[in-house]
Amino acid sequence: MTTTPHHRRIAEAFAGAGVVGLLHARDIDSGAEVALSADRPVVTASVHKLCLLVALHERAAAGELDLTEQTDCDPVDRVAGPTGTSAMLDPVRMSLRDTAFLMMSVSDNAAADLLLRHVGLDAVNRTTARLGLTRTHAVHTFGELSASIRQDAGPDGAQALADPYVTQRLRALDPARTNRSTPRDMTRLLAALWRDEASTPEHGAAMRRLLGLQVWPHRMASGFPFDDVHVAGKTGSLPTVRNEVGVVEYPDGGRYAVAVFTRAASTAAILPAADAVIGTTARIAVDALRAGR
């Protein structure tokens, strides 16, 4: 890889935030790119919900399911989590497309696994294979992912995750044993979605809408604090892991797919600098692509 000023700035930003970072950014229309370890396998965490979303709409476009179908989310079947139906106490009934909204907007784990019961992991993997994402693979559901963390943490539970020796043994943090991808694969998926190559235009528009409704402004969006610049994305988080993939759209028509994956040295659950560096590095990469237009 050729070292350029923007590559150095990205690497310095990651180091300053106390994270190991990987990045890929591409101009969706010209194909120009900025890459930093972009082909290294990474754990996707909740970023993999984007792959599930595309598989869901692929089945809907083929007439294999109806997105307005009502489905029940019972408390006894829910994956634990701090958002959406995962945190609710009572039975919920809603459509598949509203379930997908909760999965993407607030990263609702219970909603994701409810959709997986309709779609299946094999269908998710067939979809990513069809789109040429050769390094992207779903191994388990989000409930199984959470269960593996509990098992690996041991009897001390969540408290144990403050110990770096414990986090080192988590299967959820090993790309060889969990849901995985690469930064380059993820920008390829985003570019296909924005060019209506991942699905029909109708379903592509529906998926882009959901990505634009994500509520978290503290990662990628923090690098683009402009009213006329739109950021649509999906975050992913695990102990020491903070990720986001998304598309940045400028009023002049520029469209840029960006994927940033990080792993922090610190096990602290709250690390504002590690969140913010995703926006910082995304901005450096997009600025570099815009300068070369």
Q: Phi/psi zone of residue 50: left (φ > 0), alpha (ψ -120 to 50 degrees), beta?
A: alpha
Give 113's contacts (C-beta < 8 A, 6+ positions apart): 79, 141, 142, 143
What are the domain boundaries of the chain?
5-291
CA neighbor of 258 nearest in space, from 270, 250, 267: 250
Query: Taking the alpha carbons of 192, 195, 201, 202 in that order, is the dihedral positive or negative?
Result: positive
How many Å apart are CA 54 and CA 121, to the nearest integer? 12
The answer to whether the CB of 252 falls within 8 A of the CB of 228 is: no
Structure confidence at residue 149 (pLDDT): 95
In sequence order, the β-bridge partners of residue 241 are: 238, 263
Q: 262-273: per-residue pLDDT in tens? A: 999 999 999 999
The pLDDT of residue 219: 98
Nearest to 261 by CA among 222, 286, 235: 235
> Does residue 51 sit in helix, strand or coil?
helix
Distance CA 207, CA 23 (A): 23
* Model pLDDT, residue 43: 98
Residue 34 · residue 279 · CB < 8 Å: no
pLDDT at 1: 47
Query: CATH for 5-291, among 3.30.70.20, 3.40.710.10, 1.10.101.10, 3.10.620.30?
Result: 3.40.710.10
* pTM strictly above 0.85: yes
Structure-token pair, residue 59: 């089945």
Alpha helices in 154-218 (DSSP H): 164-168, 183-194, 201-212
Neighbours of 53 (CB within 10 A): 27
CA distances from 276 to 190, 222, 243 (A): 21, 7, 11
d(C-alpha 56, C-alpha 111), whole Å: 13
Calpha distance 281→23 (Å, rounded): 8
Counting as low any pLDDT under 70, the low residues of the chain are 1-2, 293
Strand ranges for 30-69 from DSSP E: 33-36, 42-43
Q: What is the pLDDT of residue 157?
A: 86
Is 275 within 8 Å of 222 (Cβ atoms)?
A: yes
pLDDT score recorded for residue 2: 57
Q: Is the dihedral of CA 148, 154, 158, 164 positive or negative?
A: negative
* pLDDT tens per residue, range 247-292: 999 999 999 999 999 999 999 999 999 999 999 999 999 999 999 8
In whole angstroms, give the CA distance from residue 55 to residue 122: 10
